């Protein structure tokens, strides 16, 4: 899932400077799970913005709505009947959601309330960690299901650097060295031989931005359309 | 103190300030302790409004924010002693929630000291009374919640606007527009 | 000047190199004096590449200065600051400027240095960089394009014999040799017994091993490295030896220790040479060499 965090209130306040009627649009998928932009967080942000305005004696109304996802058109459509009422829309989706919302409602001011962090997993209550950098060429089969492109700070694909410290990474002593993890996992799996293969340089052309992908099944029909 | 400052200003400088304190108390410990304080005929600050909740684990940052938004001068959540929660870890969660809500208060510019978490075991009637007095003293020291004024000015004790009459969006749970007005409670101060 | 770094190995002698760190800024008089002081006393001068991720004069420029002064440079090249285009073009440039030796490293991470906000590159890793050098030597580039004129580098890499855990480190060590490393320079070593154990494994490969010797300046430095520099282990006995030295004489004790270790490594034929890193004290390298006689 996409993991994000709420921006400091001060930043959001600065974005909405001068706007009176605000709508906060939440996103009920990834960022709801990462406790940054779901229904509940929208409610919290709205309460904060209301209190802040009152304390400063500013006129402001804050409405809230949370849709299932902001990265699918279907869920953005129903917003159409509301948006005209507002001076500005704050989206608590990831960067993709914010952009999609802004694209669908081009005439509206759409502002981001979150900083999008990474694709990750839930380690425990309130703790998430990165697991994938979307490199477009998965090599997890070779490394025991541990991604050196993500977990190793230097994305080394052929083994550790010289900085491994008691199994921790030289870059951040709190984090495990990816290559210690990979080696131990492959040892356990009895697949150490696989690690001997020299990995060729990565193909970064695969991640040329912006990415776009069409499912095989849809390719033909799309071509016909064009 | 001048009226232009939304700081620690009494609602009406002429009236003496009587703090309003909201105490969310869990059924098993703090609420029982409150009962006990009553039967022991202990005296404690009359400013505290006790709200019984099943477990402090139920407490949500938004409930705490709303209490302040509606004009509470101080709020506290009182739960079982560490390790004694009837739902295992409800009080631990509440402690995290309160810490988070303190941060939210700080961000908007309300003193986080207005919010606390206390452990009050069922048998601790006197402790309940003591915490009630302590929190009232804190509220007196910090002065009235500056939002009190705006509540009266903006809402006048009534909802600014009737709740939204738009039909809910197709999704049952998500996609419902919640109007500002629905969040502004009908509080007669 | 000796015949050359590569030739020194061929002559089966105990090879000695020293490290020079390019300065930050354009004031190079001290650097030049170090080059002049050391160039005839060692078999090669190893020039760091934005060492510790701190921005400085490039390794290549200093290598060229060394050549101009009649020394034998070894170009250090890290993967931190350059993508594969820049790395290859740097290598070609080095070759046409007369640099014949290259040490391929991954490089420290950006955040330890003085521009922590910079974008880390790490397009290739050290193994892939060694392979790239191999290709350039064959007259081809990494994209398999034929070039007009190739290089003839003598390439090396590094290893940390005290890495914890050691097995993954050895895995990469082996890959580096397969990828074309002809000499290997180690992280600083202080415990000769540990190093001997490492050499038992390393001797299975056809590669020259140069032990890293870092000059101890104070006992505090030794303790600091034990605590903060991964892969460096200074035995307590050496720290005590440093501590026992009189005030003002600590560095002499450090020189004595370094000299003694070099002598032991040479006399017991434990490895093929040493690489002396007298960080900031390059002017004392001749004293270390003297102590090692
Ligand atoms: S210590 Fe391990 S994880 Fe950290 S940069 Fe080096 S190889 Fe990568």
- What is the tens place of the pLDDT at every residue in B27-36? 999 999 999 9
pLDDT tens per residue across span B42-82: 999 999 999 999 999 999 999 999 899 989 999 999 999 99
Check: CB of residue C106 under 8 Å from CB of residue A161. yes
User: For the residues A7-31, what does the mean pLDDT come to?
Assistant: 96
Q: Quick one: A144 and A188 in the same domain?
A: yes
| C167 to A182: CB separation less than 8 angstroms, yes or no | no
Q: End-to-end alpha-carbon separation of chain B, Å?
A: 22
Q: Is the pLDDT score of A161 beyond 60?
A: yes
The Cα–Cα gap between B131 and B29 comes to 14
User: For the residues A132-145, what does the mean pLDDT come to?
Assistant: 96
The Cα–Cα gap between B183 and B70 comes to 10
Residue B75: per-residue pLDDT:
97
Confidence of residue B178 (pLDDT cuts 50, 70, 90): confident
Q: Quick one: A137 and A112 in the same domain?
A: no
Domain ranges, residue A141: 133-203
Q: What is the DSSP letter of C40?
A: T
Residue B149: per-residue pLDDT:
76
What total of structural domains would you count in chain C? 1
Residue B167: per-residue pLDDT:
44
B169: nearest CB among A48, A54, A78: A78
pLDDT tens per residue across span C191-225: 999 999 999 999 999 999 999 999 999 999 999 99
Check: CB of residue C45 under 8 Å from CB of residue C18. yes
**For residue C59, what are its two tokens?**
């390794």
pLDDT tens per residue across span C100-117: 999 999 999 999 999 999
Classify residue A192: in a domain, yes or no.
yes
- ipTM score of complex: 0.92
The domain limits of chain B are 18-157
Q: Is the pLDDT score of C271 beyond 90?
A: yes
CA torsion, points A128, A131, A135, A140, in degrees to nearest 10? -170
User: For the residues A202-220, what does the mean pLDDT come to?
Assistant: 90
DSSP codes, C278-290: -TT-GGGHHHHHH
Q: Is the pLDDT score of B189 beyond 70?
A: no
Residue B4: per-residue pLDDT:
41
Q: Is the pLDDT score of C172 beyond 80?
A: yes
The Cα–Cα gap between C48 and B117 comes to 56
Confidence of residue A174 (pLDDT cuts 50, 70, 90): very high
Confidence of residue C43 (pLDDT cuts 50, 70, 90): very high
Least confident of A106-120, A126-140, B140-154, C133-147: B140-154
Alpha carbon A17 to its chain centroid, in Å, reads: 26
Q: Is the pLDDT score of A110 beyond 70?
A: yes
Give the CA count within 13 Å in the CB-facing half-sphere of C231. 22
Residue C122: per-residue pLDDT:
97
| Domain final position from A93, A118, A143 | A118
Which residues does C170 contact at the CB level (< 8 Å), separation at least 6? C201
Pocket of ligand 1 (CB under 6 A): A 152-154, 156, 160-161, 163-164, 169-171, 177-179
Question: B7-28: b or e for each residue (b if 16 or more CB lie within 10 Å)?
Answer: eebebeeeeebebbbbbbbbeb
Residue B117: per-residue pLDDT:
97
On chain A, the residues whose CB falls within 8 A of the CB of B151 are: 54
CA distance A28 to chain C (A): 33
Classify residue A217: in a domain, yes or no.
no
User: For the residues B86-112, what does the mean pLDDT come to?
Assistant: 95
Domain ranges, residue C41: 5-291
CA torsion, points C200, C201, C202, C203, in degrees to nearest 10? 50
| B180 to A78: CB separation less than 8 angstroms, yes or no | no
3-state secondary structure B88-147: CCHHHHHHHHHHHHHHHHHHHCCCHHHEEEEECCCCCHHHHHHHHHHHHHHHHHHCCCCH
Q: Is the pLDDT score of B155 beyond 60?
A: no
Burial of residue A96 (number of CB atoms within 10 Å: 0-12, 13-18, 19+): middle
| Rounded distance from Cα C109 to ligand 1 centre (Å) | 9
Q: Is the pLDDT score of C248 beyond 90?
A: no
Confidence of residue B174 (pLDDT cuts 50, 70, 90): low
Ligand 1, residue A170: give the atom nearest the CA.
1
**Neighbouring chains to C with at least 3 Cβ pairs closer than 8 Å:** A
Q: Is the pLDDT score of B1 beyond 60?
A: no
The Cα–Cα gap between B9 and A55 comes to 12
**For residue B131, what are its two tokens?**
């915490």
B17 vs C1, higher pLDDT: B17
**Count of C-beta atoms within a 10 Å radius of residue A136:** 14
> What CATH number is attached to the domain comprising A9?
3.40.50.2300
**Neighbouring chains to A with at least 3 Cβ pairs closer than 8 Å:** B, C
| Rounded distance from Cα A133 to ligand 1 centre (Å) | 16
**C101-105 and C154-159 as β-strands: parallel, antiparallel, unpaired?**
parallel
User: For the residues C225-247, what does the mean pLDDT come to?
Assistant: 91
pLDDT tens per residue across span C76-103: 999 999 999 999 999 999 999 999 999 9
CA torsion, points B163, B166, B172, B176, in degrees to nearest 10? -60
CA distances from A57 to B11, B64, C34 (A): 15, 22, 69
Residue B9: per-residue pLDDT:
46
Check: CB of residue B9 under 8 Å from CB of residue B144. yes
Q: Quick one: A103 and A32 in the same domain?
A: yes
Residue A218: per-residue pLDDT:
85
Q: Quick one: A90 and A150 in the same domain?
A: no
> What CATH number is attached to the domain comprising C243?
3.20.20.220
Q: Is the pLDDT score of B164 beyond 90?
A: no
CATH architecture for residues B18-157: 3-Layer(aba) Sandwich (3.40)
Angle at Cα C8 formed by Cα C20 and Cα A161, nearest 5°? Answer: 50
The Cα–Cα gap between A131 and B171 comes to 31
On chain A, the residues whose CB falls within 8 A of the CB of B110 are: 51, 55
Inform me whether the C-beta atom of residue B175 falls under 8 Å from chain A C-beta atoms.
Answer: yes
Handedness of CA C96, C99, C100, C106 (dihedral sign): negative
Q: Is A145 left (phi over 0), alpha (psi -120 to 50) or beta?
A: left
CA distances from C104 to C84, C178, C179 (A): 13, 14, 11
Total residue count of chain A as it appears in this document: 226
Q: Is the pLDDT score of B20 beyond 90?
A: yes
Q: Quick one: A148 and A113 in the same domain?
A: no
Residue C230: per-residue pLDDT:
84
Backbone angles phi, psi at C258, to 5 degrees: -60, -45
Residue whose entry in the numeric block shows the structure tokens 């903060």: C228
| A51 to B69: CB separation less than 8 angstroms, yes or no | yes
Q: Is the pLDDT score of A27 beyond 80?
A: yes
Q: Is the pLDDT score of A167 beyond 70?
A: yes
Q: Is the pLDDT score of B104 beyond 80?
A: yes
User: For the residues C26-35, what does the mean pLDDT come to?
Assistant: 96
- The closest residue, in CA terms, to atom 4 on ligand 1 is A169
The Cα–Cα gap between C136 and A225 comes to 48
């Amino acid at each position: 899932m996409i993991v994000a965090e709420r921006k400091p209130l001060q930043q959001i306040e600065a974005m909405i400077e001068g706007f009176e009627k605000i709508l906060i649009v939440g996103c009920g998928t990834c960022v709801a799970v990462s406790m940054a932009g779901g229904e509940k967080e929208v409610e919290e942000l709205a309460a904060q913005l209301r209190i802040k305005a009152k304390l400063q004696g500013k006129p402001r109304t804050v409405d809230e709505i949370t849709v299932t996802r902001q990265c699918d058109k279907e869920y953005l459509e129903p917003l159409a009947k509301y948006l005209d009422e507002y001076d500005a829309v704050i989206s608590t989706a990831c960067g993709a959601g914010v952009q999609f919302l802004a694209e669908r409602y081009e005439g509206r001011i759409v502002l981001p309330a979150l900083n999008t962090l990474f694709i990750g997993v839930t380690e425990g209550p309130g703790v998430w960690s990165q697991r994938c950098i979307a490199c477009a060429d998965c090599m997890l089969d070779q490394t025991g299901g541990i991604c050196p492109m993500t977990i190793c700070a230097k994305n080394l694909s052929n083994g550790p650097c010289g900085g491994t410290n008691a199994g921790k990474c030289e870059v951040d002593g709190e984090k495990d060295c990816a290559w210690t993890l990979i080696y131990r996992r492959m040892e356990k799996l009895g697949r150490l031989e696989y690690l001997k293969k020299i990995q060729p340089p990565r193909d970064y052309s695969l991640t040329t931005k912006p990415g776009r992908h069409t499912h095989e099944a849809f390719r033909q029909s799309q071509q016909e359309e064009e | 103190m001048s009226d232009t400052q939304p700081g620690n200003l009494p609602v009406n400088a002429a009236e003496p300030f009587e703090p309003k304190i909201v105490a969310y108390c869990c059924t098993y410990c703090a609420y029982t302790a409150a009962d006990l304080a009553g039967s022991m005929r202990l005296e404690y600050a009359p400013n505290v409004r006790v709200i019984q909740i099943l477990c402090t684990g139920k407490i949500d940052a938004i409930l705490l924010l709303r209490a302040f938004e509606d004009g509470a001068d101080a709020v506290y959540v009182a739960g079982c002693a560490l390790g004694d929660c009837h739902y295992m870890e409800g009080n631990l969660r509440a402690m995290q929630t309160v810490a988070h809500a303190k941060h939210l208060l700080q961000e908007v510019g309300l003193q986080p000291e207005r919010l606390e978490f206390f452990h009050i075991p069922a048998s601790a009637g006197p402790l309940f009374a003591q915490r009630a007095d302590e929190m009232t003293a804190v509220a007196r020291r910090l002065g009235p919640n500056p939002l009190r004024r705006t509540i009266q000015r903006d809402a006048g004790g009534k909802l600014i606007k009737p709740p939204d009459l738009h039909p809910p969006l197709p999704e049952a749970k998500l996609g419902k527009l919640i109007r500002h007005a629905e969040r502004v409670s009908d509080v007669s101060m | 000047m000796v015949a050359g770094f590569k030739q020194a190995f061929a002559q089966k002698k105990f090879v000695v190199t020293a490290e020079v760190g390019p300065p930050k800024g354009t004031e190079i008089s001290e650097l030049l004096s170090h080059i002049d002081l050391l160039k005839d006393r060692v078999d090669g001068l190893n020039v760091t590449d934005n060492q510790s991720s701190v921005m400085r004069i490039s390794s290549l420029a200093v290598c060229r200065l060394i050549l101009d002064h009649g020394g034998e440079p070894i170009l250090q090249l890290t993967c931190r600051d350059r993508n594969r285009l820049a790395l290859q073009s740097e290598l070609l440039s080095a070759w046409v400027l007369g640099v014949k030796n290259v040490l391929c490293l991954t490089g420290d991470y950006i955040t330890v240095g003085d521009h922590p906000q910079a974008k880390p590159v790490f397009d290739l890793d050290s193994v892939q960089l060694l392979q790239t050098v191999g290709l350039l030597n064959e007259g081809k580039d990494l994209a398999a394009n034929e070039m007009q004129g190739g290089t003839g580098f003598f390439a090396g890499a590094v290893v940390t014999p005290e890495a914890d855990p050691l097995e993954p480190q050895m895995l990469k060590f082996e890959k580096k040799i397969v990828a074309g490393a002809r000499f290997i320079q180690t992280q600083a070593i202080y415990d000769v017994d540990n190093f001997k154990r490492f050499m038992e494994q390393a001797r299975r490969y056809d590669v020259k091993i140069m032990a890293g010797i870092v000059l101890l300046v104070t006992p505090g430095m030794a303790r600091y490295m034990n605590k903060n520099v991964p892969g460096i282990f200074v035995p307590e006995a050496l720290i005590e030896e440093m501590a026992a030295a009189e005030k003002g004489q600590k560095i002499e004790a450090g020189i004595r220790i370094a000299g003694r270790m070099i002598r032991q490594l040479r006399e017991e034929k434990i490895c093929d040479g040493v690489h002396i890193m007298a960080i900031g004290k390059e002017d004392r390298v001749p004293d270390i060499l003297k102590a090692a006689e």
